Amino acid sequence: MHLLSVLLLFAATTGQAFALDSYADLVETLMPSVVNISTEKEAVADTDEGIDNFMLNPELKGRESLGSGFFIHKDGYILTNLHVIKGAKKISVITDDNESYTATIAGTDAPSDLAVLKIDLQQDEKPREVRPVVFGNAHDARIGDKVLVFGNPYGLGVSVSSGIISAKSRNIGLGSQQYLQTDAAINKGNSGGPMFNLDGEVIGVNAALFTSQGASGIGFALPSNTANWVSNQLMKDGKVRRGWLGFSVANGIDSYTGKPGFVITEIDEESPAYKEGLRVGEIISAYDDMPAADVADFLNYAETLEPGDMLRLKTLSFGEEFRTVIKIQDMPAQKLKDYTDKALKESRQRSVQDIDSEVFYISEFKIAVKEADPRGLAIVKIEKKSPLAGKGIKVGDVILEADRSDIYTADNLLDNIRTAVVNDFRPISLLIQSSDNAFYTSVELVNEND
């Protein structure tokens, strides 16, 4: 009798564990907030594909682009990616209960690749009620946290996949934005869909996938803090007003005190920061009572500052500490245009520079490369014995990173190679941008004597 009781207790406990491992209740609650989006595209005159390289390539006249989105307001506002609806002559939204609506564009923002749509909830005799999502704080998300990703993969309808946050503050070449990385399955058609934490809060917007096969692999999502800030402005004004700091920073250390922080590397003389006395070479040790520890976190924070906001800085100059308050201004029209153009340019397929550009031979990889625009090394030749051969890498592809370091010149790549050689010719991790996707691969070095 005692043994039977133990077995029954074990069975009950095991059953409860399985129930707790199920996401069914949470998914059932969240599913009505997610929508499918399809578009009919206008014919495109040029071959410049833009961000669609990552998720879609819907450039033929009449072809449908399939993507995802989610309700962000009870009045029928929907957030999605700009590249999902870019060039559309008609946008259709299909809700969880299979109702179809024609959507209008409330506003778009190229730098963040976001767009807000609106549907008429009064079109039926009985006005429809929608369930808007709740935005969470992506800054609080931790590597290893479980997430649920919703979307419309391959046009099959709203689906859900699970995974974890694999990394944060990833720069994947789409402007200056930082992204969350996940191993949750993100496929073509998931673009614009939400990434939820297990509290049912949106912490990201599906933006891109990196894979050599075009299916699920490494996925990226724009953090919710940026998405929430952008979408609120798009709902209100149809556009985004961006604040302007007017300076650039990098990680640095004050040589007088040994304190770490952000060193100011560039500053515009017309900027509010310059007018408040900041200069190149000074160290920012704190901003708005937060330590200057991570440049990516600072850039994400600065991205959401609006004109009129105040930014409080602690700076070090020749070892002396100063406190400065900067009033954020509107980004000047030309600089805003340059900022947007740069974001669009960097989202497009990398192009090789002129044929007269200097070609470098990398003997350890047995390849020839030349600098690409805006960054990276474009491969112009791959020898048969190259360790890159057989990895899906081809002439015209661009090396964007080596061992997680951005690559701009051949010297950048050679520095990483020298480090690997010193460490017994260990493999190097490369981020490769091809014509239709981007992916990481590990490459063995070739001894120059081979």
Of the candidates 65, 68, 109, 113, the residue annotated as catalytic is: 113
Helix axes 224-237, 295-303, angle to 10 degrees: 20
Residue 89, exposed/middle/buried by CB under 10 A (0-12, 13-18, 19+)?
Answer: exposed
Residue 73 known to be catalytic: no
231 DSSP 8-state letter: H
Q: Evaluate the CA torsion angle 288, 290, 291, 293 in order and state its sign.
A: negative
Task: Report how far residue 426's alpha carbon sits from residue 413's, in angstroms, rounded to the nearest whole number.
Answer: 14
Contact 119, 184 (CB under 8 A): no
Pick the closest to residue 263 from 245, 247, 246, 276 (CA basis).
Answer: 247
Catalytic residue (one of 68, 112, 191, 231): 191
The question of whether 83 is a catalytic residue gets the answer: yes
2 catalytic? Reply is: no
Distance (Å, whole) CA 287 – CA 88: 42
Q: Which of 33, 83, 109, 161 is catalytic?
A: 83
Q: Which residues does 241 contact at the CB level (< 8 Å), separation at least 6?
A: 233, 306, 307, 330
SS3 100: strand
Residue 305 is classified by DSSP as -
Please identify every residue annotated as catalytic.
83, 113, 191
